[in-house]
Structure 1
Amino acid sequence: MRHRSVADLMTPNAVVVQRGTSFREIARLLEEYDITAVPVIDEGERPVGVVSEADLLRRHIEKMGPATAEALMTSPAVVAHPEWSVVRAARTMDEKKVKRLPVVDGAGRLIGVISRSDLIQLFLRRDRAIQEEILEDVLTRTLGVPPSAVTVEVTDGMVTLSGAIRRRSLIPVAVRLCESVDGVVEVLDRLTFEEDDTAAQPGRPAAGPAPSTPDLFP
């Protein structure tokens, strides 16, 4: 299975400002491009901070200090890398309490921005595409389950698995793998099994729980 990365979802050619950009110019850019924050870059195109609508409002209320990007910005900038998974980007946003992340290359130069709204695109993935990935990648290639054994129904990202698979221990694995597919909101398990291989046998412990996979939005 291939999960989309930050590079797949980020907005390239992001709107940026310099350290000396004025309050009024920043406000104009936010309005013109319908964005809520803008990265501040240095002479080497490396992000050094971010100016948000909240920063502008705070300066307007306090009316203290110079009204330039360098004085207004939240620094240092919390950044992401293009190879990151969207899970990692989402968790970083949640942990750092930010709504968007500048994306930098190996040299630290800005190459784009990823926002919460970009991450939401995952849940707009077509149901047919989700169904095909589960049938072909999860069930057939990964678990070796014949396509005819399981019925996969997807409605608005809600996945229902029904049918019978050979071993009981594969059921929680299948559910967790389906939950990790991009665009899946929830998985309803209606699977049955032919052989209960989770029961303890002499010389062999009962099968343990399925390995966990990270949720997209914690």
Structure 2
Amino acid sequence: MAEVMTRQVVAVPPGAGLREIAATLAVHRISAVPVVDPSDRPIGVVSEADLLHRQAVQDDPDEARTLPLPDADAATARELMSTPVVCITPDASVVAAARRMERHGVKRLPVVDGDGRLVGMVARADLVRVFLRDDRAVRREIVEDVLGAVDGVGPDAVAVEVDQGRVTLRGTIDPPGLAQVVLRLCRSVDGVVSVTDMTRSGG
């Protein structure tokens, strides 16, 4: 996650006004901004959708309303933000981030350290760029960091082919149960789209 997240994060305090938030989004060309407490811990997110919702619930002189809508007076980040905020840690995988976004229906995740302080942001676009990773870089990481780190498996025993992010493993892996470990580790490598197991057991 640390490789794909945006580290220069723009944030606003809970008391930031609507105009300040709108200006922050426009100046930095972003679609949402985290709201942080005095300790830099995210407590919510304000997005363009939240601002549009605020605009939509204001009284329209051409439209008769008998009762005011509840959000019509929302004017600060604390009142506008979406909560609870869904976060992730820098050591999480891209797959974990994608699943969390999908599960919670969000387009971005604040990245927090062990103390819960904001250290980055990751958006859907950041995750999509991972799949543009060069095949040679993907293969090198699998050979060095996966095969080279698992006892009983090595580059001499297993050949790795990568084409458009699709990984194929050929060779021998012993014991047989170790193959599942290798496959799982390969799937966790950034840029891997799929893994095809063509290995066999030496026994």
TM-score (norm 2): 0.77
| 1:16 lines up with 2:5 in the alignment | no
Taking a change above 3 Å as real, the CA distance of residues 83 and 191 of structure 1, as seen in their structure-2 partners, is: closer
| 1:162 lines up with 2:157 in the alignment | no
| 1:48 lines up with 2:49 in the alignment | no
Take 2:115 and 2:180, find their aligned partners in 1: how far apart are those partners?
42
Task: Tell me how large the CA RMSD over aligned residues is.
Answer: 2.6
Give CA deviations for 1:106-160 in whole Å, capped at 9, x if unaligned.
4433222222222334323221122122223333441534534432111121112
Identity between Structure 1 and Structure 2 (%) = 52
Take 1:96 and 1:121, find their aligned partners in 2: how far apart are those partners?
21
SS of the residue corresponding to residue 79 of structure 1 reads coil
User: Which residue number corresponds to residue 188 of structure 1?
Assistant: 196
Instruction: Report 1:50-129 matches (<5 A).
Output: 50-63=45-58, 64-129=72-137
Contact 2:54 2:74 in 1 (8 A): no
Taking a change above 3 Å as real, the CA distance of residues 178 and 43 of structure 1, as seen in their structure-2 partners, is: closer
Taking a change above 3 Å as real, the CA distance of residues 110 and 132 of structure 1, as seen in their structure-2 partners, is: closer
Give 5+ residue unaligned stretches, structure 2.
59-71
Pick which of 52-61 and 143-152 moved more.
143-152
Give CA deviations for 1:88-107 in whole Å, capped at 9, x if unaligned.
43333222222222233344
Contact 1:179 1:187 in 2 (8 A): yes
Contact 1:143 1:174 in 2 (8 A): no
Take 2:175 and 2:40, find their aligned partners in 1: how far apart are those partners?
55
